[in-house]
């Protein structure tokens, strides 16, 4: 082998390709048995080095250390981020969360501005966001100069300047609210004829708006008749108190509150108990964690750091009115079939039994009522995005979006830095310290998938938009 290595150094022929001959005899691959070498002996080596010399690659290799952020994300098949233009992380985080909603993203991409010159404000901002999405779809980090400028011009309070002439940090929740109001006027509903008339004015109303049935009872007068009102919402609130340790507890507490208002019977202000129940559930449910409160002395929006756990799967059935609950139950029974099957598959995996999901044909059911596209027909939601804040005040610190990517895979969207994270990392955003804390939770529809054998005959009728059959 030492000899063959020396020949390799002289000829470039790899040792395993060398055939060594002396006086017409071929020596064994690994020994000199029966061969007597003399000084000046002629040794013949036969072999080719053509296959051993690699051709120079047409594309030179790029190392991870030398890649730009965009190149790295493309290589890892990750989405790209949005450049921070100076305290615009609150805006970037909101855009990343909204981009996770297919209906919102699709509607913005298809939006066409009027050519009569009348389009200002909302339409212009929508086109600017469309441009941001276009760059991101191309795998390029978006640099939203036009969008940020239009946003600050349209909403001057987001253009506050601090010491040194730098733009100040803003509240992401307020930005979220303003963008939704803007989209409400700009984005048209989808299949308007299939939407409840009360929620058919825009895409936002269709997919994000719900309705409360509110019962008002005067605590200071039995003679005061109960009043019934209906309120629309685009976001639920979770007020954080000493008793609230879980999201659901905070949501339930919000459904019953005491409010002072005018009493017709007493002819004065009196305390009323307002009891609310949901009569319409939207397909997408956003929840704001009320973490900021104003400190008069310090004149700052201070932050509540308390740990409040939130689930990946959210069930709001008990927040609904009896009438809505009756409509939800038939669909919820199908979810139980799916959950029982998934639980059994999980048991089989733990026992070491092979579970072949690829060969299963699953029927995907719609998540809306047939006569109200954009609603939720089950009350089940799956966490889709989380907007977090790190810091002690809403006017300082840093905002980040955490978005579901594929299945249980998540992405941390920190401006133009996109990092894969796990579901466990998402659950750690519940608070309790100076780490990133959930501020807005965006829940999307939990998709119902049943095996063909689990579907009733009537439900197998091939009705468009009713269901879809796919291989898992």
φ, ψ of residue 376 to 5 degrees: the values are -110, 125
Secondary structure element (H or E) that encloses residue 420, with its range: strand 417-421
Residue 44: Cβ within 10 Å count = 11
Told to judge if 89 belongs to the known catalytic residues of this protein, a careful annotator would answer yes
Q: What is the CATH T-level fold of the domain 2-52, as seen in this structure?
A: Ubiquitin-like (UB roll) (3.10.20)
The whole-angstrom separation of Cα 437 and Cα 77 is 27
- Which residues are bridge partners to 83 per DSSP? none
Architecture of domain 71-199+286-471 in this structure:
Alpha-Beta Complex (3.90)
Which one of the listed residues 238, 398, 413, 436 is annotated catalytic?
398
Domain ranges of the chain: 2-52, 71-199+286-471
The whole-angstrom separation of Cα 28 and Cα 136 is 62
The whole-angstrom separation of Cα 77 and Cα 153 is 35
Strands (E), 241-324: 256-263, 268-280, 285-290, 292-295, 300-303, 313-315
User: What are the percentages of helix, strand and coil residues in the chain, rounded to 5?
Assistant: 35, 30, 40
Told to judge if 413 belongs to the known catalytic residues of this protein, a careful annotator would answer no
Q: Which residues contact 74 (CB under 8 A, 6 or more apart)?
A: 139
Query: What are the C-alpha distances in Å from 409 to residues 223, 405, 463?
Result: 57, 5, 32
- Which residues are bridge partners to 420 per DSSP? 411
Query: What are the C-alpha distances in Å from 88 to residues 157, 168, 190, 277, 295?
Result: 14, 9, 31, 37, 24
Which one of the listed residues 16, 89, 248, 436 is annotated catalytic?
89
Say what the pLDDT of residue 66 is.
61
Fold match flag (2-52 vs 71-199+286-471): no
Per-residue pLDDT of the chain (472 residues), as tens digits, is 778 877 877 888 888 888 888 877 788 777 777 777 788 888 888 888 765 455 555 566 655 456 565 555 555 568 899 999 999 999 999 999 999 999 999 999 999 887 655 556 788 999 999 999 999 999 899 999 999 999 999 999 999 998 888 999 999 999 999 999 999 999 999 988 898 899 999 999 999 999 999 999 999 988 889 999 999 999 999 999 889 999 999 999 999 999 999 998 899 999 999 999 999 999 999 999 999 887 777 677 788 899 999 999 999 999 999 999 999 999 999 999 999 988 988 888 888 877 776 777 888 999 999 999 999 999 999 999 999 999 887 778 999 999 999 888 999 999 999 999 999 999 999 998 888 999 999 999 999 998 887 776 555 544 333 445 454 4
Say what the pLDDT of residue 52 is.
47
Q: Which residues contact 196 (CB under 8 A, 6 or more apart)?
A: 280, 371, 372, 375
The whole-angstrom separation of Cα 145 and Cα 133 is 13
- State the average pLDDT for the chain: 86
**53-70 burial code (b ≥16 CB/10 A, e <16):** eeeeeeeeeeeeeeeeeb
pLDDT tens, residue by residue, 405-457: 988 899 999 999 999 999 999 999 999 888 899 999 999 999 999 888 777 65
In terms of Cα–Cα distance, which of 189, 144, 423, 171 is closest to 303?
171
């Amino acid at each position: 082998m030492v000899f063959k290595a020396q020949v390799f150094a002289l000829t470039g022929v790899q040792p395993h390709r060398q055939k060594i001959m002396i006086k017409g005899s071929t020596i064994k691959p690994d020994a000199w048995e029966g061969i007597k070498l003399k000084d000046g002996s002629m040794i013949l080596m036969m072999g080719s080095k053509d296959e051993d010399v690699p051709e120079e690659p047409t594309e030179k290799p790029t190392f991870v250390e030398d890649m730009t952020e965009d190149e790295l994300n493309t290589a890892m098949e990750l989405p790209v981020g949005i450049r921070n233009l100076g305290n615009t992380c609150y805006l970037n985080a909101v855009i990343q969360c909204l981009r996770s909603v297919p209906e919102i993203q699709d509607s913005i991409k298809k939006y066409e501005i009027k050519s009569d010159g009348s389009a200002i404000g909302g339409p212009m901002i929508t086109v600017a966001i469309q441009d941001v999405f276009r760059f991101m779809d191309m795998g390029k980090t978006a640099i939203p100069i036009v969008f940020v400028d239009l946003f600050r011009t349209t909403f001057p309070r987001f253009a506050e300047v601090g010491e040194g002439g730098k733009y100040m940090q803003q509240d992401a929740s307020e930005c979220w609210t303003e963008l939704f109001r803007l989209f409400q006027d700009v984005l048209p509903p989808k299949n308007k004829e299939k939407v409840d008339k009360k929620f058919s004015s825009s895409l936002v109303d269709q997919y994000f708006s719900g309705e409360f049935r509110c019962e008002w009872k005067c605590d200071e007068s039995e003679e005061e008749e109960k009043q019934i009102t209906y309120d629309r919402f685009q976001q639920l609130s979770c007020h954080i108190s000493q008793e609230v340790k879980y999201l659901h507890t905070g949501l339930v507490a919000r459904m019953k509150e005491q409010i002072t208002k005018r009493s017709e019977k007493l002819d004065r202000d009196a305390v009323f108990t307002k009891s609310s129940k949901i009569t319409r559930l939207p397909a997408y449910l956003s929840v704001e964690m009320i973490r900021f409160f104003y400190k008069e002395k310090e004149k700052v929006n201070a932050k509540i750091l308390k740990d409040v756990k939130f689930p990946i799967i959210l069930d709001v059935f008990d927040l609904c009115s009896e009438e809505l609950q009756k409509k939800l139950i038939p669909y919820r029974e199908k979810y139980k079939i799916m959950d029982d099957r998934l639980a059994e598959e999980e048991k089989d995996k733990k026992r070491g039994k092979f579970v072949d999901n690829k060969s299963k044909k699953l029927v995907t059911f719609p998540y809306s009522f047939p006569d109200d596209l954009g609603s939720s027909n089950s009350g089940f939601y799956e966490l889709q995005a989380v907007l977090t804040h790190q810091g002690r005040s809403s006017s300082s610190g840093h905002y980040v979006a955490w978005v579901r990517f594929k299945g249980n895979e998540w992405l941390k969207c920190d401006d133009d830095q996109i990092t894969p994270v796990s579901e466990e990392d998402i659950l750690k955003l519940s608070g309790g310290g100076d780490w990133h804390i959930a501020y807005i939770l965006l829940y999307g529809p939990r998709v119902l998938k049943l095996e063909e054998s689990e579907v009733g005959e009537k439900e197998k009728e091939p009705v468009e938009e009713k269901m879809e059959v796919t291989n898992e």
